[in-house]
Amino acid sequence: MKLFDPAAFFDYLFNRFLLGGVAVTIGLTVAAVVGGLILGMVIAWMRSADNKPLSSFARFYIWFFRGTPLLIQLVVIYTGLPHFGLKFGVITCALIGLILNEAAYLAEIVRSGFLSVPPGQREAAWALGLPQSVTLRRVTLPQAFRLMIPPLGNSINSLLKATSLASVISVEEIMRRSDMLMQEHFQVLEVYAAATVYYLLLTSLWDVVQRRLEKHFGRSTVAPVVRLQRA
């Protein structure tokens, strides 16, 4: 009996069924990042608001979703919502859980990014007569986003792998389809080795994108090189 069958591993690596799971994983990640970022910006604004009820709600939201496992959140959403007359498909339930959870982390990243911009930058823009909307778009946001890229990139990397937890509610992403193939053919190492390669490829591709973003938005902080010409 072989401990590892390389031929079976390569078959799984290019298996259409498993590749379909990769597409689901990418879709879950992208949708959760977009939804989590939008909701996270709202929560960050509420967290920084002078209104005590809004600020308290945002604090509780962040505390709750960062303090409880994503696995439990997904199971509660999938099994609990039908008791309130809200019955969704597994993909929708997974997206709700991923977005709610990711928003709690992204809210703190967004808030810390804006707090890291020196107040003098905004005051200088206002002194020049720039409206608040222009100040936000041209001064505050570019600087804050540059500071947010590293933690934001790490959060997205973690989210990509966290989508595997959606398999517990039968979402057919990489891990769920890997389990289905493994139960059918009983080739555990070969199937999970192929799944590992997929995760490594996806996280590596995102790492390249993150580095390009850091390089692009970090250009404004690099001092220009002055070359002296000989007389």
- 131 compared with 225, residue with greater pLDDT: 131
pLDDT at 2: 65
**Angstrom distance (rounded) from CA 58 to CA 44:** 7
Q: Please write the tens of the pLDDT for every residue from 172-203.
A: 999 999 999 998 888 899 999 999 999 999 99
**Angstrom distance (rounded) from CA 216 to CA 91:** 34
- 15 compared with 226, residue with greater pLDDT: 15
Amino acid at 192: Y
Question: Of how many residues is the chain composed?
Answer: 231
Q: Please write the tens of the pLDDT for every residue from 14-31.
A: 999 999 999 999 999 999
Q: Which two tokens stand for residue 186?
A: 């009983």
- Residues 177/18, Cβ–Cβ less than 8 Å: yes
Question: Buried b / exposed e across 79-110, counting CB within 10 Å, b at 16+?
Answer: eeeeeeeeeeebbebbbbbbbbbbbbbbbbbb
pLDDT at 225: 43
- Residues 78/169, Cβ–Cβ less than 8 Å: yes
Residue 42 binned pLDDT confidence (cut-offs 50, 70, 90)? very high
Q: Please write the tens of the pLDDT for every residue from 128-164.
A: 777 777 777 777 777 788 888 899 999 999 999 999 9
Conformation bin of residue 129: beta by default, left when phi > 0, alpha when psi is -120 to 50 = left
- Residues 191/11, Cβ–Cβ less than 8 Å: no
Amino acid at 119: P
Residue 171 binned pLDDT confidence (cut-offs 50, 70, 90)? very high
Mean pLDDT across the chain, nearest whole number? 87
Q: Please write the tens of the pLDDT for every residue from 56-75.
A: 999 999 999 999 999 999 99
Conformation bin of residue 2: beta by default, left when phi > 0, alpha when psi is -120 to 50 = beta
Domain annotation for the chain: domains and CATH numbers: 6-219 (1.10.3720.10)
